[in-house]
């Protein structure tokens, strides 16, 4: 179900009045509709099937390059994402790093950011977002293991309370073989190397 923009706009008008502002003054008159339009984008993932981008897979043994079977993990780093924290409805944003150990089927690399985008476009907490990404990939692909690392900055931390402007949060979700610390250590090290080399 799409975001009810008219209802959101009406509620924003009420919110502006509740904080002591005049929703009809020139600087705020268009704000309710602008917020409604922004929320329609921010929460477009509500009710959307996050597994849909993974529906089309490619056979690694019978596909276009059967002589290039992957012997290790497939890793996509630095997928930018943004979401809205469900506790304060403030944004958080950062990078997702996804790795999986493919079986007979692989997916086009462009599908992985789409999964992240759909799941991030909902009221979220970072810990659950990483778990949902891992579950979606593990449940939709022929994979022996999945690793999802999220690194994000939260405005509920950087702009309120103690205002820790440099703080970031890192979460890890793992499935299958990559749930074993020793198995995922190499991939975690690769992420660290990307930061050292200035690629992150």
Binding residues for Zn(2+): 85, 88, 156
Q: Which domains does the chain have, with CATH numbers?
A: 5-41 (1.10.286.10), 54-196 (3.30.1130.10)
Residues comprising the chain, all counted: 200
- The model's pTM is 0.88
CB of 131 closer than 8 Å to CB of 99: no
Residue-level pLDDT, tens digit, the chain, 200 residues = 689 999 999 999 999 999 999 999 999 999 999 999 999 999 999 999 999 999 998 887 665 555 555 668 889 999 999 999 999 999 999 999 999 999 888 889 999 999 999 999 999 999 999 999 999 999 999 899 999 999 999 988 878 777 787 788 999 999 999 999 988 888 888 877 555 444 44
Binding residues: 85, 88, 156
Give me the residue label for tokens 């958080």. Answer: 92
Contact residues for 154 (Cβ-Cβ < 8 A; gap 6+): 85, 90, 92, 126, 167, 169
């Amino acid at each position: 179900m799409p975001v009810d923009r008219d209802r959101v706009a009406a509620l924003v008008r009420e919110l502006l009045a509740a904080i002591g502002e005049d929703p009809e003054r020139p600087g705020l008159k268009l704000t309710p509709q602008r917020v409604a339009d922004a929320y329609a984008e921010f929460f477009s993932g509500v009710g959307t099937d996050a597994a849909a981008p993974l529906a089309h897979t490619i056979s690694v043994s019978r596909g276009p390059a059967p002589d290039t079977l992957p012997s290790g993990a497939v890793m996509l780093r630095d997928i930018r994402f943004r979401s809205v924290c469900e506790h304060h409805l403030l944004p958080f944003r950062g990078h997702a790093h996804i790795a999986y150990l493919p079986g007979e089927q692989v997916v086009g690399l462009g599908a992985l950011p789409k999964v992240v985008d759909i799941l991030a476009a909902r009221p979220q907490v970072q810990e659950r977002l990483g778990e949902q990404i891992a579950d979606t990939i593990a449940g939709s692909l022929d994979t022996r293991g999945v690793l999802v690392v999220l690194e994000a900055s939260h405005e509920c931390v950087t702009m309120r309370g103690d205002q820790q402007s440099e703080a970031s949060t890192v979460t890890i979700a793992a499935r299958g073989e990559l749930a074993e610390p020793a198995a995922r250590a190499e991939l975690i090290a690769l992420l660290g190397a990307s930061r050292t080399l200035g690629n992150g």
